[in-house]
Chains A and B, each alone.
Chain A
Amino acid sequence: MASKNVASVSEDICVACGACTKVCPRQAISVINGCFSFVNEELCVGCGKCAKTCPADCILIKERAS
């Protein structure tokens, strides 16, 4: 069953440092072509570890769209 929440990246603010990729327990987040982080919503459990780690505060935990 999919989690209630999911991480969402603001691509314009993301600095693509990759700090989020190191803390994700599901390996649901990756840096795409050195441009910004991308969340695989199927894997994401919305735990918020990435949002807490992100130095640019560009990751939001929002309610999953049904």
Chain B
Amino acid sequence: MKKQWYDYLWIWSIVYFALGFFNILFAWLGMIDFMLPLIFAIFGGNKFFCNNMCGRGQLLNKLGTDLKCSRNHKTPKWMVSKWFRYGFLVFFLCMFGNIVFQTWLVASGAENLREVIKLFWTFKVPWGWTYTQGMTYDWIAQFSFGFYSLMLTSTLIGIIVMILFKPRSWCTFCPMGTMTQSICRIKKN
């Protein structure tokens, strides 16, 4: 099959995390990956993004299949089950809501900017070198730290399940995938 430009979007996935290592404000670019799948699903009634343009999926495939980093074991049934998929989607949306709430707290002056990223929603990692106070509004930076944490954590989870199971095991419970498939199913019915 002839390669398309979007077959190389796995590079974008790496570039995104690299940019966030130097300037956290680049984390906002991740909103593209958040909005595009929804736009395709709502207006196109398809999962073109997941199927062709997901840089994370491509990267996991590259690592798991091409670089043979995956054990290629079966994904556990519970991980593919509806309750886990929708449960993880709800959890993920709650965590995203928390990021928005923290941003609002900083914007309203109730909280100070915290220059840390949180891995797996638990472990705080200092990330202050990526932002200089006064570069922009603090709430913009606060959202960046939160969103970058979410993107990095979900990629790390993807890498862990890629190693343990199949290259694209993450796709079975990816919140964006679950959300867009649900939209497509609702639209079709």
Contacts and interface: CB of A to CB of B under 8 A. Distances in A.
Contacts of A27: 1
A9 to B, nearest CB: 14
Contacts of B45: 33-34
Interface in A1-55: 13, 15-19, 21-22, 27, 31, 33-35, 52-55
A31 B47 contact: yes
B180 A55 contact: no
Contact of B167 (A15, A55, A56): A55
Interface of A, secondary structure class, is loop
**Chain B CB within 10 A, most for which of A19, A22, A35, A55:** A55
A57 interface: yes
B23 interface: no
Nearest to B189: A35
Is the interface on chain A under 10, 10 to 19, 20 to 34, or 35 or more residues? 20 to 34
Interface of B: 1, 40-41, 45-48, 50-52, 57, 61, 72, 74-75, 80, 85, 165-172, 174, 177-178, 180-181, 183-185, 187-188
Contact of B169 (A18, A22, A33, A55): A55
B135 to A, nearest CB: 38
16 contacts: A13-B80, A16-B181, A17-B172, A27-B1, A31-B46, A34-B48, A34-B50, A35-B184, A53-B167, A53-B168, A55-B75, A55-B167, A56-B171, A57-B75, A57-B80, A58-B80
Interface of A: 13, 15-19, 21-22, 27, 31, 33-35, 52-58
Contacts of B50: 16-18, 34
Please give me the 5 A-B residue pairs with the lowest Cβ-Cβ distance, nearest first.
A18-B51, A34-B184, A34-B47, A17-B171, A34-B46
Contacts of B167: 19, 53, 55
Contacts of A22: 1, 61
Given A27-B1, A33-B184, A34-B181, A17 B74 contact: no
A56 B181 contact: no
Contacts of B184: 16, 33-35
B41 A34 contact: yes
A55 B168 contact: yes
